Amino acid sequence: MERTVLTKIVDDFNASQSDWRVMIEQFPQAAYNDSVVAAALSGELPDILDVDGPIMPNWAWAGYLAPLTIDPDVIEGSLPGVIGTWNDKIYSVGFWDAALAMFARKSVLEANGIRVPTLDEPWTGEEFDEILVTLKDTGEYDYPLNIGMADKGEWYPYAFLPYLWSSGGDLVDRETYQTAEEALNSDAAIKWGEWWQSLFERDLVPGPSQSLADHQNGFAEGKYALNWTGNWLALSSLETYGDDLLFLPAPDFGEGGKIGAGSWQFAVSATSAHQDGANAFIEFALKDEYFATFSDGIGPIPPTREAAAMSEYYAAGAPMEVFYELSGRQGTLRPVTPGYVVQSLVFQKVIADIANGANVVTALDTAVDEINADIQNNAGYGHN
């Protein structure tokens, strides 16, 4: 469906003018990033690239991308997560965003005397922990909460960094991006790590050995009372639970409720001989009608309020309307640095190590050392 919508935009652009002609070229999805890097090294990058938001700074720093020259007015009012900025220049822009939420059943909360949180009054960290214990004590579920430990890879930082951020820690110091010291191993981060480990020790969540089938289907099958997941599963969950389903904001562990922001975006190759045409196409495509068509076709969050109002799922009163507000108010970008490609891998390992019983302080200190060594080996990654 995504290709169908994109093909329509390409056809519209090609028919609208005679200076440029856009053609779609597919890269192997399973090794997309590696394919792009290989194409960059061989000088064979296409004019326009699809890039995952948190990866964009690395590609810009490496010289793969050129800053966009689109009219700033066309991105006015967009959700922050769809605009990719590096060193004060816009390099990429997306046609949608994604948002996490706590999926819950109204009947389950009511039966256990659990209040329904709001964006203005989310569950506190302490309240959330008590809720998990309450739900476990019912004995009705395999686990009270599914966090998706089976979905290894970028899911780990996307889904679990928000808990660290809300607790007052981070993956790296965002003032300088030159160290992870006192960010990933601060007192706040250690407290978060101890709580994280306790989730597994108390059997409140399934561990890293969780099967992918249980992660994908366990909430619908009633194995989990709560499901920490994204808007891409909202429609199937609505089919299962209908009006009983709630999409709740992230808990607030002290620094506000947080969710990940920034998804796939379009950028222009630095080696393109047709940068004018590439920018012309991207600017042409940034229309609310196309955003709404993408949303209706594949389900992501439209990047503007106007497009959301036009969409089937996110308009006022529509079943997924809340995700637009979740994205706008709780959405937080992963560290905007070329070093994120390494920092993400380090976080994926440390989150699993702590879940598997590693000493929290030692694990976080080791992760800090690995991140700092990588920053130093890359001369600070070019931060201004």
Average pLDDT rounded to a whole number, residues 26-42: 77
Q: Are strands 224-230 and 143-146 parallel, antiparallel or unpaired?
A: parallel
Domains 2-98+262-333 and 100-256+339-382 share a fold: yes
Pairwise CA distance, residues 287 & 349, whole Å: 40
For the chain, how far is it from start to end, CA to CA, in angstroms?
A: 40
pLDDT band at 29 (very low <50, low <70, confident <90, very high): low
Kindly state the tokens that stand for 326.
């979740």
Q: Are the C-beta atoms of residues 267 and 56 closer than 8 Å to each other?
A: yes
Least confident of 26-30, 200-204, 268-272: 26-30
pLDDT tens per residue across span 144-196: 999 999 998 999 999 999 999 999 999 999 999 999 999 999 999 999 999 99
Predicted TM-score (pTM) of this structure: 0.94
Nearest one of 178, 156, 182 to 169, comparing CA atoms: 182
Helix (H) or strand (E) holding 122: none
Q: Which CATH superfamily is domain 100-256+339-382 in?
A: Periplasmic binding protein-like II (3.40.190.10)
User: Percentage of residues in the chain with pLDDT exceeding 70?
Assistant: 99
Longest pairwise C-alpha distance within the chain: 67
Under CATH, domain 2-98+262-333 is a member of which superfamily? Periplasmic binding protein-like II (3.40.190.10)
The structural domains of the chain, with segments of one domain joined by +, span 2-98+262-333, 100-256+339-382
The average confidence (pLDDT) of the chain is 95
For residue range 296-353, list pLDDT tens digits in order. 988 899 999 999 999 999 999 999 999 999 999 999 999 999 999 999 999 999 999 9
